[in-house]
Structure 1
Amino acid sequence: MKSRRARHVAGDQGGRSARVYHQLRDLIVRGRLAPGARITEVEAATKLGVSRTPLRAALQRLQQEGYVIASHSGHRARVFVAPLTREDSTELMHIIGEIEGLAAHNAALLNPPLRRDLVATLTVLNQKLARAAAAQRPDADTIFKLDVEFHTAFVVAGAGPRLLALHQAIKPQAERYGRMYAAALTDAIHKSVEEHGVVIRAFAVGDADAAQRAVIVNWRNAAARLSEVVEIAGERGSW
């Protein structure tokens, strides 16, 4: 059996690794670590104020989740921020659509008072999104945040712990694309607003299958729109 001190050290390392993971993931999602940028252990450990042991554990987790990739040369592995590509964006958005579709199915089966509250919240958010998109100078950050809030509202309402954990692990990867290409996507937001309206109407009548379908369609259409933008604007960080 491990001694109390050994368990304490292991727990401390695990806590540091989790902190480093979240710090690095946030930097990647927000674009502060650019797609294709190399992450060196010495530099990253120094900047984050940790040893290389928790850093390596964090990088391994980030690699498993697709935020970083490793390029092996001999016995050494060089770690890079995962690139943003059309193929990856389409796969991500289709996966998220399935996850959020399940959450929407569950949310549509909530009791009527809870559903009414959810519909009211979603309606307000979608109206704000429509106004933001119709502005003379649409603010990409505002539009991005409102869209995230809209989807988060029904996911939190309908997802169980496992589904929510899956969503929280993969959704930030799609947010990388939203942040990078937000300005180019603002012209198509009115289409998302219309698709959100279909989602809201399904919740309003408690039609679980329709809500699930509407969310999946919204994400698949978003994937197609993003694919066009990436094709025009170019992929980021790919070789």
Structure 2
Amino acid sequence: MTQPSSTSSTSSTGDVAARGESISRAYDQLRELIVWGRLAPGTRVVESEIAERLGVSRTPARSALHRLQQEGYVTGGDRRLVVAPLTQNDGRELFHIVGLLESMAAREAADRPPEERATLAARMRALNAALDAEARLPRPDPMRIFDLDTALHRAYVEAGAGPRLVGLHDAIKPQAERYIRLYISALVDEIATSVVEHEQIVRAIESGDGEGARAATDTNWRNAAARLSSVIGAHGERGSW
């Protein structure tokens, strides 16, 4: 019996790895286009056009679209896919889910040793102060506000969450970010309230109050969901026609 050559085996392995990298790259690029609103909610997504836009063949484009459909970024059937719309109900559900995940992380962060909690609290307070200062400027930068807020929440998630919780958080949080990015200019006026809510989370973590940290985080996200719902109500849902 003829044995396959090591060269052939190596080549096959390399081809598989290359295909995997191509799919992963297409997925990352396409998700970024959706999250940043460059593919607007309700926009029809055509496999051949996506492949051309990303500079890949149709196979990785198809795989990327399938994964994005599973994760809720794209909806519809095989013959007609569209970027998922942004609606009040969907936004509320996403914010509640993120709140539950981050509440678990905050509770665990409050169980860290005192020195770790003190370091974490100092970092969170610095980010919260920068967030407050930016929001008070005559012309605040919405994207800097977004980055500071994201960093603050990420700080206690990384401090408290295990790998499974981080994985769940990383899968769902970008879907919530679609809403924040699209409506962020209208949400800037609500930052002062968020700053106060953030401080409640910091105090609970700093003092080692796990239940307090969980409750404060959950409250922050539930209030954020209500604020977002009001903004969507005023400015309209996107892509739900």
Under TM normalisation by the shorter chain, which class is it? over 0.9
Match of 2:117 in 1: 115
- Structure 2: distance between partners of 1:139 and 1:226: 19
How far is 1:164 from its partner? 0.5
- Structure 1: distance between partners of 2:25 and 2:212: 40
The match for 1:140 among 139, 142, 155 is 142
How far is 1:138 from its partner? 2.4
**Aligned residue pairs: how many?**
234
Paired amino acid for 2:90: D
Q: How many percent of aligned residue pairs carry the same amino acid?
A: 53
The match for 1:183 among 165, 185, 194 is 185
- Structure 2: distance between partners of 1:54 and 1:98: 33
Look up the SS of the partner of 1:236 in the other structure.
coil
The match for 2:212 among 188, 210, 216 is 210
The match for 1:26 among 24, 28, 32 is 32
Paired amino acid for 2:58: R
Look up the SS of the partner of 2:79 in the other structure.
strand
Q: Is 1:39 the equivalent of 2:45? A: yes
Match of 2:89 in 1: 87
- Structure 1: distance between partners of 2:183 and 2:212: 30
- Structure 2: distance between partners of 1:13 and 1:95: 33
Is the radius of gyration larger for structure 1 or structure 2? 2
How far is 1:8 from its partner? 3.7
How far is 1:6 from its partner? 4.3
- Structure 2: distance between partners of 1:127 and 1:50: 44
The match for 2:129 among 127, 130, 139 is 127
Structure 1 residue ranges (4+ consecutive) displaced by more than 4 angstroms after TM superposition = none
- Structure 2: distance between partners of 1:237 and 1:11: 36
How far is 1:171 from its partner? 0.5
Per mean C-alpha deviation after superposition, the further-off stretch among 220-229 and 54-63 is 54-63
Paired amino acid for 1:17: I
How far is 1:137 from its partner? 2.2
Q: Is 1:100 the equivalent of 2:106? A: no
The Cα offsets for residues 157-187 of structure 1, whole Å up to 9 and x where unpaired, read as 1111111111111111111111110111111
How far is 1:12 from its partner? 2.4
With normalisation by structure 1, the TM-score equals 0.94
Paired amino acid for 1:230: I
Unmatched runs of 5 consecutive residues or more in structure 1: none
The match for 1:52 among 36, 55, 58 is 58
- Structure 2: distance between partners of 1:201 and 1:139: 27
- Structure 2: distance between partners of 1:235 and 1:99: 26
How far is 1:190 from its partner? 0.7
- Structure 2: distance between partners of 1:104 and 1:83: 30
The Cα offsets for residues 96-152 of structure 1, whole Å up to 9 and x where unpaired, read as 000001111111111111111100000111111111122222221121111111101
How far is 1:222 from its partner? 0.1
Taking only aligned residues, the RMSD between alpha carbons, in angstroms, comes to 1.4
Match of 1:10 in 2: 16
- Structure 2: distance between partners of 1:202 and 1:189: 20
Per mean C-alpha deviation after superposition, the further-off stretch among 172-181 and 130-139 is 130-139
Match of 2:197 in 1: 195
Look up the SS of the partner of 1:109 in the other structure.
coil
Look up the SS of the partner of 1:77 in the other structure.
coil
Unmatched runs of 5 consecutive residues or more in structure 2: none
- Structure 2: distance between partners of 1:48 and 1:31: 16
Paired amino acid for 1:103: A
